[in-house]
Amino acid sequence: MSEVKLFGAWFSPYVKRVEMSLNLKGVEYEYIEEDLKNKSPLFLQYNPITKLVPALVHNGKPIFESSVILEYIDETWEGPSIFPKDPFDRAMSRFWAKFVEDKCSDLLWKACWSAGEEREKAAKEAEEGLTILENEIKDKKFFGGENIGLVDLVANYIALWNPILQDVVGFHVLTQDKFPNISKWADEFCNDSFVEKYMPEKEKVRLWLKRAVETGSLY
Amino acid sequence: MEVRLHGMWASPYVIRVIWALKLKGVKYEYIEEDLSNKSMAVLEYNPIHKKVPVLVHNGKPIVESAVILQYIEETWPDRTPLLPEDPYERAMARFWIDFGQQKSLTFFAFFLTSEEDKHKTAAQVLETLKILEEEALGDKKFFGGNTINMVDLFFGWLTYSFGCMENISGVQVLLPETLPRLHRWTLDFKQEPVIKENLPDSTALLEHFKRVTKHLKSSNKFKPA
Tens digit of pLDDT for each residue in A141-186? 999 999 999 999 999 999 999 999 999 999 999 999 999 999 999 9
| B71:A87 CB<8 A | yes
Does A114 have pLDDT greater than 50? yes
pLDDT number for residue B221:
58
| A63:B88 CB<8 A | yes
Query: pLDDT band for position A1 (50/70/90)?
Result: very low
Find, among A129, A206, A200, A194, the residue nearest to A166 by Cα: A206
Which of A61, A63, A95 has its CB closest to that of B67? A95
What whole-number percentage of chain B has pLDDT above 90?
A: 79
Report d(CA B149, CA B139) in Å as an integer: 16
Compute the nearest-CA separation of A147 from chain B (Å): 22
Q: What is the mean pLDDT of residues B117-146?
A: 96
Q: Is B68 on the interface with A (CB under 8 A)?
A: yes
Which of B68, B88, B98 has its CB closest to that of A61? B88
Q: Which residues contact B32 (CB under 8 A, 6 or more apart)?
A: B7, B8, B9
Task: Name the phi and psi angles at B96, rounded to 5.
Answer: -70, -35
Which of A67, A75, A132 has its CB closest to that of B87? A75
pLDDT number for residue A21:
97
**Nearest residue of A to residue B57 by CA position?**
A88
Report d(CA B67, CA B49) in Å as an integer: 14
Report d(CA A166, CA A113) in Å as an integer: 10
Q: Which residues contact A163 (CB under 8 A, 6 or more apart)?
A: A174, A186
| A87:B74 CB<8 A | yes
Does B91 have pLDDT greater than 80? yes
Compute the nearest-CA separation of B49 from chain A (Å): 10
Name the DSSP letter for residue B135.
I
Task: Name the phi and psi angles at A69, rounded to 5.
Answer: -60, -45
| A90:B70 CB<8 A | yes
Which of B71, B99, B135 has its CB closest to that of A91? B71
Residues in chain A with CB shorter than 8 Å from the CB of B66 are 94, 98
Find, among B72, B69, B171, B184, the residue nearest to B124 by Cα: B171
| A98:B67 CB<8 A | yes
Say whether A101 sits in a helix, a strand or coil. helix
pLDDT number for residue B224:
52
Q: Is B135 on the interface with A (CB under 8 A)?
A: yes
∠ Cα A57 A62 A68 (to 5°): 100
| A67:B94 CB<8 A | yes
| A65:B64 CB<8 A | no
pLDDT number for residue A189:
97
Q: What is the mean pLDDT of residues B60-80?
A: 96
Find, among B102, B108, B114, B209, the residue nearest to B164 by Cα: B209
Report d(CA A206, CA B14) in Å as an integer: 44
pLDDT number for residue B222:
57
Per-residue pLDDT tens digits for B142-199? 999 999 999 999 999 999 999 999 999 999 999 999 999 999 999 999 999 999 999 9
β-sheet bridge partners, residue A160: none
β-sheet bridge partners, residue A55: A7, A64
Q: What is the mean pLDDT of residues B12-16?
A: 96
| A91:B67 CB<8 A | yes
pLDDT number for residue B89:
97
pTM above 0.90, yes or no: yes
- Centre a 10 Å sphere on the Cβ of residue A96 and count the other Cβ atoms it contains: 24
Note the Cα B39 to chain centre separation in Å.
Answer: 23
Report d(CA A148, CA A82) in Å as an integer: 7
Query: pLDDT band for position B88 (50/70/90)?
Result: very high
β-sheet bridge partners, residue A5: A30, A57
pLDDT number for residue A86:
96
pLDDT number for residue A47:
83
Whether omega before A54 lies within 30 degrees of 0, making that bond cis, reads yes
Residues in chain B with CB shorter than 8 Å from the CB of A132 are 48
Q: Are B60 and B27 in contact (CB under 8 A)?
A: no
Report d(CA B111, CA B122) in Å as an integer: 9
Q: Which residues contact B148 (CB under 8 A, 6 or more apart)?
A: B23, B142, B189, B192, B195
Q: Is B64 on the interface with A (CB under 8 A)?
A: yes
Residue A135 burial (10 A CB sphere; 0-12, 13-18, 19+)? exposed
pLDDT number for residue B215:
85
pLDDT number for residue A2:
54
pLDDT number for residue B1:
54
pLDDT number for residue B225:
44
| More confident of the two residues B223 and A146 | A146
Q: Is B141 on the interface with A (CB under 8 A)?
A: no
β-sheet bridge partners, residue B3: B57
| A94:B63 CB<8 A | no
